[in-house]
Every structure is written in C-alpha cells, then in structure tokens.
Chain A
C-alpha cells in the first residue's frame, strides 16, 4: 500500500544549512521520493562585473565569490588572466600560492568538520574543530592582514612576500596542530555514535559519480580521482602529490577523505616551505589582455573549480566564468536524497557540503 505523500520544504533557512539552498522534499511516509533544489536567493552576478571593472581589480572581486575558499578563487582567476596574457609568475609566488591554497583547505575542512559535529549534536567537538581553525585564520591575519578575504593575490604574483621567520612560524603552528588534530579526528573516525550516523548512509557508487559529474571529496569518497591538483597548476607535481581516495562511497567515507586531506595538506605545506626558493613574488603587469580565451581548473576544498576568461584587447574582459564545485555537486545531491530516510537528509547534505555562497557567485 502506498504511504501518505507529503512535500516538506527544506531550507533556505534551516538549522543544518549554513547557507540558503532550498530543497522540496517529496516524501512517502518517512522516505524521500524526490528532491527538487532551487537556488538564487542571494545571487550576486559577480561574473557580470568583469564587463565594467578593470581586469586587475577583478581579482579582488573574484576573491569574494566565497568567504571560505576565497584564496583559491583569486588564484584561479589570476591564473586564467595570466594564461591569457602569457605571464610567467615567479617561482616563489607559485610556491606561496600552493601554501596558502592548502592552508585554505585545512581551514575549510576544519570548518566543515565542526559543522558536521554540530549537526550531530557534538557541540564540544564542533568548538574544538573551530578552535583549531582559528590558528589558520591567525596565520592569514598575521601574514596578509585579512582573516577571510586576504587580497594576497594579484595578476602577476603575490601582493607581498612572506618572511623566512613567518614561514618557520607557520611550520611550528602546523606541527602543533597535527597532534591536537589526531585526538579530535579520532572521534570522527572511531566514535560509535558518529559511525552509526554515517556508515552505510548516502552511498554513492563510482558509476553514480562518473555519470553525475560530482567533484571533490564527494567523488574521492567513492574512489573517483578527478582531483585537478594532479594537473600542472601550482607546485603539486614537485611535491609528489597523490590524491586521497576512499571506496565505500558513504557519508563516513566522505568524512574520512576530508580528515585525511587535512593531514595531507599539513605535509604538503611543510614540504613546500622546505623547498621554497628565494626571489621576487610578483612581476609588473603592463598592457591589456589580448583578444582570446583561457581556461584554468583548480582544486578547491569542495572540488574542482573552473575559470574561463575572454579578452577583447581592452582592460575590460568580455567574460569571466567561475563554475564552482557546488554547481557540479547539486545533481549528485538530488540523486543521493532519492529513497533515503528523512532523518538522514541532514547527514547527506552535510557530507556533500554544498557551498551556496560559491554557487550564488
């Protein structure tokens, strides 16, 4: 016998959602039959501003696509314009970009772990994750002056250099953090009640991921490697980067990927700091972007982001496109919610981790 059909609006304001996405959940008793997303509650049209703002200033606008992965957005846009203008960024700047991008990943993953703990009712765990994240924000503040929007990247390199002493201090902070992280992340990976909420929940097969084009830890939790850090942007190849993959495809696997990536990012940063060369961190940029197009992909904490710029020979670009990771992960969210229990919706949404600020660029 068919159960009672109900439609529950989930979001745009909901305790489990830090940002406004709306899902219409069509239920049969407690089972979700269909989930229909809608976005656009805070759409800002940042891409359009490129037609009226100098291409160099747009670097600071692009940074505001997201308050969590802001550094990556400025890097992605800058790299696309640099590619268009055939600018070779100094080696030291490339190293600094890699270091700051991985610091952003740590702070994004710690923020996510905290929110996950909060969604499960583990408030002390939530506060401990965010306490550790503060150390990364302090590094940002001390080295660039900003905690969220760093304004550290510009076309042609970095705004300023980071001293040898500051880099040594970053290493010391991260070494300390590693010890505390082991204790905290052990709760996520070993605690029975956490496992009960996540193991076997929201399973996504490798085929689902491939078919629906999911990216980031969501894809890697199902054993699919589409981590674009394997490509040639940044210093990842020199650092011997290997993507972290899990194969179970459930909420626990996605959590495990993020936990392991925090430790991996610490290792990458320390190795990069050991190998960073001396030298300039930027070069003067003269002239206008030529007529042409350029594409760059960058691995943000939530997955692959795509940047496309189209120049017309003036200081205003015809187009700057940012396809953020969440754009690619919405279809998989729709898919994973079909057939799940209403109780598990929060965990599934959390582990796919949609960032609506990015999506509403």
Chain B
C-alpha cells in the first residue's frame, strides 16, 4: 500500500474519546496536520488529521446537537488555529481551548456563515 493509499484511512470515533487519543498521538511525536468541519443537512462532522514520518492518521467525529466539542489544543497547541476557525465559520464551541479568540479570529461580515441549522433528533 502506498503512502497515498494509507492516508485515505479514516477512523470514526466518539468526540468524547478524542482528547485521550490526541494525547496518545502527541506523546508519540505526531503533529496535527489539520482539522476541518463539514456541515450538511443539519449534521456536522469534524475530520482530524495527524502525521508522523509521513504516516497519516485520520479521525472523524460527529458533532453533537449542542455543537460543543472538547478541544485537543491541550495536547496539540497549534490546534487552536483550526478550532478557532471552525468556531468562527461553523459555530462549533470548543471547551478548554488554550487560545480562545471568542469569535474574533476571523473578521467576518456575518457570524458563523457556514453553520447549518442542526435538526434535533436527526441521525
């Protein structure tokens, strides 16, 4: 399997398990490559990508209805960039964010422009 094929593996996990997984990766020398949200039909998912020696690990979590997710910036300090971005664009709240701009990281003309309405109870 090539590095490119390996990079396509995405593991679904629970958002509550993510901080522990992130800590384990940080302790093993991984770096955070990116974090991004996708929002469609009232559902939002977050893709986390980590790398060590060109080997990528991807986790996907589904965001709960109240849009509050634990931050991984305690383990990966640079994650604050991506988490503030998702907060400002998608309206996702992160708990325990090490550097919280409180909605002022991006200067946007409208608040959380990429947020779609979360439909309660939609699986």
* Interface residues in chain A, defined as those with a beta carbon under 8 Å from any beta carbon in chain B: 38-41, 43, 45, 48, 83, 210-213, 226, 228, 230-233, 293-297, 304, 306, 308, 310, 318-319, 321, 323, 327-328, 330-331
Contact = CB atoms under 8 A, between A and B. Distances in A.
Interface string B61-96: 000000000000000111011100000100000000
12 contacts: A38-B107, A212-B77, A213-B32, A226-B51, A226-B54, A232-B4, A233-B4, A293-B8, A294-B8, A310-B38, A321-B34, A323-B33
B38 A40 contact: no
Main secondary structure of the interface of B (DSSP, over half): mixed
B12 to A, nearest CB: 12
Given A213-B76, A319-B38, A295 B58 contact: yes
Contacts of B105: 38-40
Contacts of A318: 38, 40
A310 B10 CA distance: 12
The 6 A-B pairs of least Cβ separation, nearest first, read A40-B106, A323-B34, A331-B78, A213-B31, A40-B107, A319-B38
B113 A308 contact: no
Contacts of B2: 232
B36 A39 contact: no
B4 A231 contact: yes
A39 B8 contact: no
A327 B34 contact: yes
A274 B110 CA distance: 52
Nearest to A227: B54
A106 B105 CA distance: 32
Main secondary structure of the interface of A (DSSP, over half): mixed
A306 B49 contact: yes
A306 B34 contact: yes
B110 to A, nearest CB: 10
B17 interface: no
A226 B34 CA distance: 14
Contacts of A233: 4
A126 to B, nearest CB: 30
Contacts of A308: 34, 36, 47
B42 interface: no
B10 A330 contact: no
A128 to B, nearest CB: 36
Interface string B81-123: 1100000100000000000010011111000011000000000
A295 B101 contact: no
B54 A43 contact: no
Interface in B15-48: 29, 31-34, 36, 38, 40, 47
B4 A43 contact: no
Contacts of B29: 210
Given A304-B33, A310-B38, A330 B81 contact: yes
A232 B3 contact: yes
A328 B80 CA distance: 11
A210 B40 CA distance: 34
Contacts of B3: 231-232
Contact of A321 (B36, B51, B101, B108): B36
A319 B114 CA distance: 12
Contacts of A328: 33-34, 78
Given A210-B29, A321-B34, 11 more contacts: A38-B104, A39-B106, A43-B106, A211-B77, A213-B76, A226-B54, A228-B54, A230-B54, A308-B47, A319-B38, A327-B34
A330 to B, nearest CB: 6
Contacts of B58: 295
Nearest to A233: B4
A328 B78 CA distance: 8
